Structure 1
Amino acid sequence: MAAPQRLQKLLARQGLASRRQVEAWILAGRIRVNGKVVTELGFKADPERDCIEVDGQAISCGDPARYVLLLHKPRGVLSTCKDPWGRKTVLDLLPPPWNRQIRLYPVGRLDADSSGALLLTNDGDLTLKLTHPRYHLPKTYRVQVQGRPSQATLQRWREGVDLDGSTTLPAVVEFCDPPPFGNRRNSNSSWLRVVLFEGRKRQIRRVAEQLGHPVLSLHREAIGPLRLGNLKPGQFRRLEPQEVQALLASFADNAQALRE
């Protein structure tokens, strides 16, 4: 017999919605367990014995198939499931059944004017682990900035810069070669490889602007040990189970190293 679990966790694991969205459903009275409306956020249900319904539709809460995709997001595409203004989203890049039948959600965000590696999954628990700030999942970017930063400027970036009243975590920042694709010609610019261990909103762009070298283009090359490889803009591939395990192990090890 399975142990009772909170509805937020059970339904998020099915890829139906995020935990916060499920909480909103509970407060709106949209969820019933064994015929009774649930209104308590801490309510627990047994996935093997209880009948769980959302808007009158029974939901199976057995172990779901976990899907994790690595997508090469092009510039101009939104890292969201839908847009009220009809702009292209990452789900629009996926063919059936990935785009609708399997409820996938982006793991974190990548700005519309940025490109590169983005994960999509139907596993709410995995999303929570990959986006939780305490785990410090490293992400690698290749960034084109205006001008050529001095070594002193790069060192300031590495050590941390004040954003919103708190200092950013130490980062890896070094000069690198331009990427083999999408190279914007600009004689007064430099290319940097930046590795972040946190994910504040538009962090690289804001730090670069603050240091006097605005970003001209930004491309995410890797998420933890996962690299885009030969994936072209708009292409994706499903991760193998061992790749997902390696991803989880990498940020767990990194979190421990940072704590020490």
Structure 2
Amino acid sequence: MAKGRGARVILFNKPFGVLSQFRDKGTQGSVRPTLSSYIDVPGFYPAGRLDRDSEGLMVLTDNGALQARIAHPKFKRPKTYLVQVEGAPDAGALDALRQGVDLKDGKTAPAQITQLDPPADLWERDPPVRFRKTVPDAWLQITIREGRNRQVRRMTAHVGLPTLRLIRIAVGDWSLNALRPGAWRWASESGA
């Protein structure tokens, strides 16, 4: 980072199937898309991760201290997701998520949960989510302040609502807004 200049921030809408790193460190000969397929600005690193099968907001920065403040769980930065789940949530399942659930790696912190109508302006996923006429699905907005591996998916599965689609829409004060899959934009360090 150049002296006299604040941290630079990129907001990226990671498509389904893209690795949240710049190089594929997987099996030799694999051809999986990475961040470098979309972002060609040197010196930036992701502040946190999204699983390959998750979509949505990733924050990248050229400042290591800011990267740590965004990604490290001790800073308890909220992360908000749109989550399509299989099944019809009842009050008991939603209350359990709000209070925290017991996973193999310990009890989760309480989450903010809101059940939503299907988002009208959401892009189609490629490949599409499987559709079964006999099984209902629902949309939840979930905000957590932790960052365990596949945490939201494990939480919803724990209450009998397997995740079909997971889209991160906000990290702290940064939000996806109208950013389309595969696109990125510059943002302020504060997230405002």
Give yes or no for the alignment of 1:119 onto 2:76. no
Preserved contact between residue 173 and residue 190 of structure 2 (Cα < 8 Å): no
Aligned residue type for 1:158: R
- Match 1:90 to one of 32, 35, 47: 35
Structure 2 residue identity aligned to 1:122: D
Rg bigger for which structure?
Answer: 1
Measured in 1, the distance between the counterparts of 2:58 and 2:185 equals 11
Find the counterpart in structure 2 of residue 132 from structure 1. Answer: 72
**Aligned equivalent of 2:167, options 219, 233, 246:** 219
Alpha-carbon shift at residue 215 of structure 1 (Å): 0.5
Say whether the 8 Å CA contact 2:99–2:110 is kept in structure 1: yes
CA distance in 2, matches of 1:141, 1:245: 20
Distance change (3 Å), C-alpha of 1:177 and 1:192: same
Please list, as runs of the form range in 1=range in 2, the aligned pairs for 1:34-45 lying within 5 A after superposition: none
Q: 1:71 Cα shift?
A: 0.4
Structure number with greater CO (CA < 8 Å, separation at least 6) is 2
Q: Find out whether 1:166 has 2:106 as its counterpart.
A: yes
The reply on whether 1:147 has 2:92 as its aligned counterpart is no
**Counterparts of 2:32 and 2:102, CA distance in 1:** 33
2:152 to 171, 188, 204: 204
Instruction: Answer yes or no: is 1:106 the counterpart of 2:46.
Output: yes
- For structure 1, list consecutive stretches of 5 or more residues without a partner in the other structure: 1-13, 15-60, 248-260
Any gaps of 5 or more consecutive residues in structure 2? none
Structure 1 residues 179-188 or 121-130, which shifts more?
Answer: 179-188
1:63 is displaced (CA, Å) by 5.0
Shift of the alpha carbon at 1:245? Answer: 2.2
The CA distance in 2 between the partners of 1:112 and 1:166, in whole Å, is 24
Q: TM-score, normalised by structure 1?
A: 0.65
Deviation at 1:64, TM superposition (A): 5.9
Which residue pairs with 1:70 in the alignment?
A: 11
Match of 1:245, SS state, is coil
1:79 to 17, 20, 23: 20
Give the alignment's Cα RMSD to 1 decimal.
1.9
Q: TM-score, normalised by structure 2?
A: 0.86
Three-state SS of the structure 2 residue aligned to 1:156 is helix
SS of structure 1 residue aligned to 2:190: helix
Shift in Å, 1:91 = 2.1
Structure richer in helix, relative to its length: 1
1:43 alignment counterpart: none
The residue type equivalent to 1:77 in the other structure is V
Residue aligned with 1:126, SS:
helix
